Structures are given as C-alpha cells and as structure tokens.
Amino acid sequence: MDAVDLKGVEPTVTLGKLVSLVREVDWDVSLLDLELLWSGDEQDGPWLMSLDRAARDTLASISNARVLELSAQWGRTEELAWSGPLSDDEMLPVIEKVATLAQRARDAGEDLYLLVLPVTYKEVVPGPDRESRLGAAGCSERP
C-alpha cells in the first residue's frame, strides 16, 4: 500500500483546512466525511478511517500551478503555524505527495485511508497530539 507520512497533521481540522483551501471555501467541521473503520481503543487509538471520495477528488485536483500558493496558505493556519508562520514552501512536499497519492487512488477507483496514531511526548511541547498516515487502498479487506 502506498502511504504518505503526515506526522502532526490531524485529519478533521488540519487536513480539512487543506481541502477548504483547495475548494476556496471556509473550513467547517463537516467538510470531511471520515468513516471510522477500526479503533484499537475508542479514546486512545489507534484509529483507521476512510476519507470520503469528494475530499479524495479535491486533493487529487491540486495542480502544480497552485501548490506553492496552497503551501503558503496552509502553513499560515493556526494548526501548523503554532510557533509562527511556516515558510511559503515548507508544506510543498507534503501537498505534492498527498495530491499524487490522491490522484493514484482516484484513477484506480480506490479510497484513501488514514491511520491516526497517538503520540506520546516525553516533554511538554505545543502543537498537534496525534500523527496521521494517509494511504491509498491497496486491498479491499478491512482490518
């Protein structure tokens, strides 16, 4: 299965903000339709979710012409810029990888899945408390 490591990118809000930027709409909690497929523990995870096809197709629609603009906008969102705005190109590789994965999934008629893993910090740091992996379905079975 192909995957993109989205460490620090929480699915509903942070990934949802990228989708809202691509669609040029305000972010809303209902923007992404995430279906919980499996949970190791309801409160503490890990969690396996599928991303709705409309969001997959939105991510797949990201053109090379918009990647730098989206990187700059996404890097200024509160969820990513908790210690100050990121450089305009800092999220560029992440967006390119996510868009490529979404394009491959869309073209193959496959879904995108997110595996959200709890993160344990040994010191107190601000920012996201979960990391995500976004993957394209390589099989039709659910765990």
Residue 132's pLDDT is 58
Average pLDDT on 40-46 reads 86
pLDDT interval class at 8 (50, 70, 90): confident
More confident residue, 138 or 51: 51
Whole-number Å distance between alpha carbons of 125 and 122: 9
Q: Quote the pTM value.
A: 0.83
- Whether pLDDT at 138 is above 50: no
DSSP 14-54: IIHHHHHHHHTS---TTSS-EEEEEESSTTT--EEEEE-HH
Residue 127's pLDDT is 45
Read off the pLDDT of residues 63-94 as tens digits, 9 standing for 90 and up: 999 999 999 999 999 999 988 989 999 999 99
Residue 42's pLDDT is 80
Domain ranges of the chain: 3-136
- Percent of the chain at pLDDT > 70 equals 82
Cα 128 versus chain centre, distance: 13
Listed in sequence order, the residues at least 6 apart from 48 whose beta carbon sits closer than 8 Å to its beta carbon are: 36, 37, 38, 39, 113, 114, 115, 116, 142, 143
Listed in sequence order, the residues at least 6 apart from 129 whose beta carbon sits closer than 8 Å to its beta carbon are: 118, 119, 121
